[in-house]
Structure 1
Amino acid sequence: MDYIGNEKVAKMILKSEQKNEFLQRTMDKMIVKTFILISCIKVLLFPTYHSTDFEVHRNWLAITHSLPLEEWYINDKSEWTLDYPPFFAWFEYLLSQIAYFIDIEMLKVDNLNYASPATILFQRSTVMFADLVLALGVREICKQFHKSQNCSTIFTVLSLCNMGLLVIDHIHFQYNGFLIGILLLSIAKVSSVCKTTQVLQGAMWFAILLNFKHVYLYIAPAYVIWLLRWSMKDSQFFHRISSLAFIVLTVFALSFGPFVSQMPRVLARLFPFKRGLVHAYWAANGWAIYIGLDKVLSLFLKYLGWTGATKTAVMTGGLVQEQSFSVLPTPTPLITFIISFATMIPALWFLMFQTDFHIRPKKLIRCIILCGLSSFTFGWHVHEKAILTVIIPLGILAVIDANDSRIFIILSSTGQTALLPLLYPENLSLLKLLLSVIYMIMSALLLCRHFKDKLLCTHEWLYVSSLPMFTIYETLIHKCLFGKKLPFLPLALTSIYCAIGVTYCWIIYYYIYLTDNKKEINLTEVKENVQLEGKSKSQKIL
C-alpha cells in the first residue's frame, strides 16, 4: 500500500513539474514576442529628436576610449563630464570598443556635439539591445511572483512597453531600461527567502546596480532592512551577515578600487550639490508644489504692494543652478535629506518589526516603492525620469493586488505625463500625446478587466482623464494664447498638477501599506487563537 501511495505522489509531483515547465515555456515565448514587437517600434523612433543626453553619452564613449583611466573623472573639455559610478564608465568603455568599428570620429574627445548617422544608429541600437536585461528581469519577476499566465502577460506588457521608458530612453536618449532590469533581477532574487544562494545573488545585483547609477541609493534602506531581517531569521545570523558584507564590499572594491587615488574628485562628480534644488525641467514632486506656492505668495505680496520685503525668484528660468525663493525659506541639501529619510522611517519600521510569519516579498516591494516615492517627493535635485524606478516595480504588485493596481494607474499616468515636456519639438506633439493616451487606456483596461472592477474612485478617474489636457495646452493652446511669452508656464503647470497626483499616490499608498500590516497582524492573532482553542479542545477530549 505504501508503494502505491508513493507512486501516486511521484506522479502528482511529475505532473506539477511538467505543468510548471509548460507555463514557463509559454511565458518565455510571450516575453520574446513582446520584446521583438516593442523593439520594432523602437527602431521606428531612431530618427526622432534626441536631447543633450545623446552628446553626454557620446562624450563618455570618447573619454573612456581615448583617455587614460586616471583622467576619466577629471576631464572637463565638455560640460557633459562623467558623473556616473565606475561600472557605468566601464559599460561605456565596452561600448566604445564596438563603436571604434562603426565611426571612429565619435570617439574623439574634441568632437563635441558629433552626431553622424552612423553614430546615431549605433547609440540608439545600444539602448535597444541593453533592454535585453530588462526582459530578463521581467522573466525572473514573473517566475517569482506571478502564478498565472494572465498576471505574467499583463506585467510583461506594462513593463516592456512602458511609455515612460520609450520617451526617456528611445527618444530623449538614456539607458534606464537595463538598469531597471538589474533592479528587477535583484528584487526577484532577494525575494527567495528560503534559498540563501538566491538572496546573496540578489544582494550582489543590487550592489552592482548602485555602482552603475547611484540614484538607486534612494531605495537602499529598504534592502538593508530586508536583508538584515533575513539574516536574523535563524541561528545563522553571523554567517549570513558576513557573506552579505563580503559580497557588497567586493563589488564596491572592484568598482572604486581603480579610482581610489582620485576618490574626492569622483565623489564630487557623483554628488554635485551645487546644481540646485530642482532640475531644469521640474520633477513632479513636493518641491514643484512648494515653488508654485512661493510664486503665488510672491504675486500676492506684489499685489498688496509689499514687494520691497521679498527677493526676486529665479525658479522659472529652466536652468540647472542654485535657486532662491521669494517668500518661503530656501531648503538646503541637508534639509531635503532629513525630510526624505524621515518620511521613509515608518515604512522601514514596519518592515523591520513585522513577525517572522509575515516576512513576505510583497512587503519588501511596497517598502521599496515608498522609499522611492519619499526620495522622489522630497529629494535634492530630483530628475523627472526617476519616477520610472517606482512605476515599474509597482507593476509587479499591480497584477496581484487591486490596491496596488489602483495606485499604478494613477501614478503611471501622472508620472509619465510629467515626462512629456522633455519632448519639446513641435513635430513630436502628436506622437507624445498618442503614446501617453494609448498607454493610459491600455493599462487601465488591462487592470480593470483583470480584477473585474473599475478600481479608481470617481474623482481619481476625473483626475487621470484630465492629464492629456495639460499636454494639449503645452503643445498647442499656450502658443495660441501667449505666443513666445511665458515659455516656462506650460512646464510649471504640468509639473505642479502632476505633483499633486504623485503626492496623492504617496499618501494613499502609505495608508495601504500601514493598514495592510495591521490587518495581517490581526489575522495572525486570530489564527493563533484558533490553534490554541483547537489544542485546548483536543486536550479536554483526551
Structure 2
Amino acid sequence: MGTETHFAEPITTSQITQKQHYILGIMETRCLVSICVLLGVVVRWGVSFNSYSGAGKAPLFGDYEAQRHWQEITYNLPVHEWYFNTSDNDLNYWGLDYPPLSAYHSLICAQIAHMIRPKWVQLHESRGYESATHKLFMRTTVLVADFFIYIPAIVLFCLWLNDGTIKRKICTLLCFLIYPGLILIDYGHFQYNAVSLGFTLWAVVALGLGWDGLGSMAFSLALNYKQMELYHALPFFCYLLGKCLQMGLLKGGLLLLKVAATVLVTFALCWLPFLSDPAQTLQVLRRIFPVARGLFEDKVANAWCSLNTVIKIRSVLSTDFQLYLSLAFTILAVLPSCIRVLTKPTFWQFKLALVNSSLGFFLFSYQVHEKSILLASLPICLFLNDLPIISVWFLQASTFSMLPLFLKDGLLVPYVVTSLAFVFFSTYLLSALEHCSEEELGLVFYHKLLFFLPKMDLALILRWKFYLSIFAMASLSIATVTLSPPPHLPDLFPVLVSTFSFVHFLGTFIYFNILQFTELPNKKRNKKNKKI
C-alpha cells in the first residue's frame, strides 16, 4: 500500500503582510494608549504641586486634613470606635462620615504612612500636620488609587464600548482622561473621588459587556466607598431588573438571584465589623446620612440654591418640610428615565438614565455639595464619543461651577490651564463643532416641540450658544478674580457663577430626558440600542 505525502500550503506574501499589519496595529494602539495614560498622569501630577484645601488654615484646616485625620483614627482606634464620639475621636473635628470601604482605604494608607513616618498618624499629636514630604505621600496615594482603579476602567470603556475607528477611540480616551473637574478636586482640593467613580465605571463596563454579576459587585463597592453613589443607584437597579423581566421567568429569575446574592455578599463583607451590634450599624448610617446640615451649603449650582436668591427657602420652610420637598422633587425628576430604562433595558438607555438620575439628584436632592457635580460628570463623559459638543460643554460648565472653591484653595492657575487644554483638545480631537448636526444630536424632535416658531437651524444656534457660553465663563472667571463685589453684595460673583452653571445643568437635564424618549435616526445609535 503506497504512502501519500501531504505538503502544507505555502504562506503567501499577502498573508504575511496582513499579519504584519495586524501586529503593527496592535502595537500602535498600545503605544497610543500608553501615551494618553502618561499625559493624563502628567496633568494630574502637575496639578498636585499646587495648594490644597485648608493649607495652613487652622484650626480645622480642610479636606486634606480630613483625609489625614481619618488615617489617624482608623490606625489608632479599634473599629467599633471609628464612627462614635469619644475622648480620642472628636466627631466635630472631621469625624468619619463615609461608608466602611472608605475607612478601610484610610487604614491601608495609614499603615503605609506609619511605616514611612509614624508621626504622620500619631494620635492627637498629628492634627494639622503639614510638610512637603507628607504632601508628596498624600498626593501619591491619590495617584496610585487613580492608576489602579479609575484609569484602567476609562481605557476599557473607550476601547471596548465605543464605536468608531481606533483613532476616534484614542481621542475620546485622551479627552476623558484630562477632564479638569475631577483632576482639580482630587489632585488640587484633595479627595479620592476617582475611587468611587472608578468602581462605578468598572460596573458600567461590566454591564456593557454582559457581566452582570461583576457589574453588581463593582457598583456595590462604589456605594460602600461613597454614599453619594446613590445618585447612580436607580439606573443600575432598573436596568438589571428590566433585563431580568425581559429574559423570562426562568432565566430572568436566575439572573435576579445571582445579582441579589452578589450585592448582599459584597455589602455583608464591607459591613462585617459593624453588623454584630445594631447600635454600630445605626451609628454608621447616622454618620453617612446627616440631615441636620440643611438643604444646601455654600453656593451650589442646583435648584434650591438658585431659588434661594429670590425666595429665602431655608428661612421660610422648616427643616423637615425642606427634606420632604427635596425628596418629592428628586423622585419626580428621576422617575421618567428610570421607568424608561426598566421597560427598555438597553445599554444606550442605561447610559442616558445615569445622566438623568445623577443630574436629577444634583439639582433637587437634599444637602448637595458643589463637588457632587462630579457624579453627573462621569456619565456625561460616557457620551464624549457620541455627543461631543454637548459633553464638552457640560464638562467645562461643571468645572466652572466649582470656581469659588478653586479660588479658595489657591488653584486659579491649574484651573485656567486645564480648562483651556480640555476645551481646545476636546473640540479639536473629537471634531465637536463639526459633529453637531440636528440628526446627530437628536434635535429634530425640537422642531415638533416648537412647531409654533419658524423653522430654524438648531445646530447653528447650538454652536453659537456654545461659543457665547464659553466666552461668558471666561469673562465671569476674570471678573471674579479681578473685580471687588459691592459691599452690600459680598457674594455677588459666587452667586453669578452658581446661577449661570445651574442654567447649563438644567438645560442638559432637559435635553437628556428628551433624548431618553427619542429614537435617534443615526444607524450607530440604532446599533447601540440593540437588546443585550
Q: Which residue of 2 aligns with 1:170?
A: 187
Structure 1 segment 106-185 matched on structure 2, within 5 A: 106-110=120-124, 111-132=126-147, 133-147=149-163, 148-185=165-202
**In the alignment, structure 1 residue 269 sits paired with structure 2 residue 287:** yes
Q: 1:38 to 1:143 in 2, by over 3 A?
A: closer
Q: Does 1:104 align with 2:118?
A: yes
- Residue type at the aligned position of 1:248: V
Q: 1:490 maps to which residue?
A: 493
Question: Cα distance 1:283–1:180, how it changes in 2: closer, same or farther (>3 A)?
Answer: same
Q: How does 1:201-220 map to 2 (within 5 A)?
A: 201-220=214-233
Q: Which runs of 5+ in 2 are unaligned?
A: 1-8, 54-61, 438-458
Q: 1:53 aligns with which of 63, 72, 75?
A: 63
Which of residues 373, 383, 389 in structure 2 aligns to 1:406? 389
Q: How far is the alpha carbon of 1:269 from its aligned partner? A: 0.4
Decide which of 249, 254, 269 is 1:254's aligned counterpart. 269
> CA contact under 8 A between 1:186 and 1:203: conserved in structure 2?
yes
Q: Which moved more, 1:436-445 or 1:499-508?
A: 436-445
Compared CA separation, residues 46 and 19, structure 1 to 2 (3 A): same
Q: Name the aligned partner's letter for residue 345 of structure 1.
A: L
Is the alpha carbon distance of 1:15 and 1:265 closer, same or farther for their aligned partners in structure 2, counting shifts above 3 Å? farther
For 2:256, the equivalent position in structure 1 comes to 241
- CA gap 1:26/1:49 in 2 versus in 1, 3 angstroms: same
Q: What is the CA distance between 1:365 and its match in structure 2? A: 0.6
Describe the shift of the 1:327–1:474 C-alpha distance in structure 2 as closer, same or farther (beyond 3 A).
farther
Distance 1:67 1:204, change over 3 A: same
Report the CA distance shift for 1:365/1:26 in structure 2 as closer, same or farther (over 3 A).
farther
Contact conserved, 1:102 with 1:118, CA < 8 A, in 2? no
Alpha-carbon distance between aligned partners in 2 of 1:333 and 1:421, rounded to the nearest angstrom: 26
Percent identical residues: 24
Q: CA deviation at 1:116?
A: 2.1
> Relative to structure 1, is the Cα distance of residues 32 and 26 closer, same or farther in structure 2, using a 3 angstrom cutoff?
same
The structure where helix makes up a greater share of residues is 1
Please tell me whether the aligned partners of residues 212 and 259 of structure 2 are also in contact (alpha carbons under 8 angstroms).
no
Q: CA deviation at 1:153?
A: 1.4
- Given the alignment, which residue of 325, 335, 338 partners 2:328? 338
**Structure 1 residue 204: Cα displacement:** 0.8
Aligned pair 1:464/2:470, yes or no?
A: yes
Measured at CA, do residues 373 and 15 of structure 1 come closer, stay the same or move farther in structure 2, by a change above 3 Å? Answer: farther
CA contact (8 A) 2:294 2:319 kept: no
Deviations for 1:399-433, whole angstroms, at most 9, x for unmatched residues? 1x2xx323212211211101121122596434423
Query: 1:241–1:443: structure 2 CA closer, same or farther, 3 Å change rule?
Result: same
Choose which of 209, 225, 244 in structure 1 pairs with 2:238. Answer: 225
- Give 1:25 shift: 5.0
Paired with 1:431 and 1:265, the residues of 2 have a C-alpha distance of 39
**Distance in 2, Cα, partners of 1:248 & 1:327:** 38
Alignment-mate amino acid for residue 90 of structure 1: Y
Separation in 1, partners of 2:410, 2:216: 44
Unaligned runs of 5+ in 1: 1-6, 295-312, 314-322, 528-542
Alignment CA distance shift 1:22-1:348 (3 Å): farther
CA distances 1:110-162 after superposition (whole Å, capped 9, x unpaired): 12211122211110111112111111101221243124213321221122111
Counterpart in 2 of 1:392?
378
Alignment of 1:3-18 (within 5 A): none
Instruction: Decide whether aligned partners of structure 1 residues 439 and 139 sit closer, same or farther in structure 2, where only a CA change above 3 A counts.
Output: closer
1:508 matches 2:518: no
* Corresponding residue number in structure 2 for 1:301: none
The CA RMSD measured in Å over matched residues stands at 3.0
Deviates more, 1:503-512 or 1:383-392: 383-392
Name which of 334, 342, 355 aligns with 1:352: 342
Contact 1:23 1:149 in 2 (8 A): no
| TM-aligned CA deviation for residue 459 of structure 1 | 2.8
Change in CA separation of 1:518 and 1:444 when aligned onto 2, cut-off 3 Å: closer
Quote the offset at 1:65 in angstroms: 0.5
The structural deviation recorded for 1:329 is 10
TM-score by length of 1: 0.80
1:302 corresponds to which residue? none
Q: Deviations over 1:229-267 (max 9, x none)?
A: 222314312211111111000011011121122011101
Counterpart for residue 447 of structure 2: none
- The one-letter amino acid paired with 2:200 is L
Greater CA drift, 15-24 or 27-36: 15-24
Kindly provide the CA deviation profile for residues 267-321 of structure 1, in whole angstroms up to 9, marking residues without a partner as x.
11000011111123x2211122211222xxxxxxxxxxxxxxxxxx5xxxxxxxx
Moved over 6 A (4+): 12-22, 327-330, 517-520
2-side partners of 1:63 and 1:20: how far apart? Answer: 53
The equivalent of 1:424 in structure 2 is 407
User: In the alignment, which residue of structure 2 is the partner of 1:279?
Assistant: 297
Distance 1:466 1:101 in 2: 49
Pick closer, same or farther for the CA change 1:18–1:97 going to 2, 3 Å: farther
With normalisation by structure 2, the TM-score equals 0.81
- Paired position in structure 1 for 2:443: none
Match of 2:33 among 18, 31, 37: 31
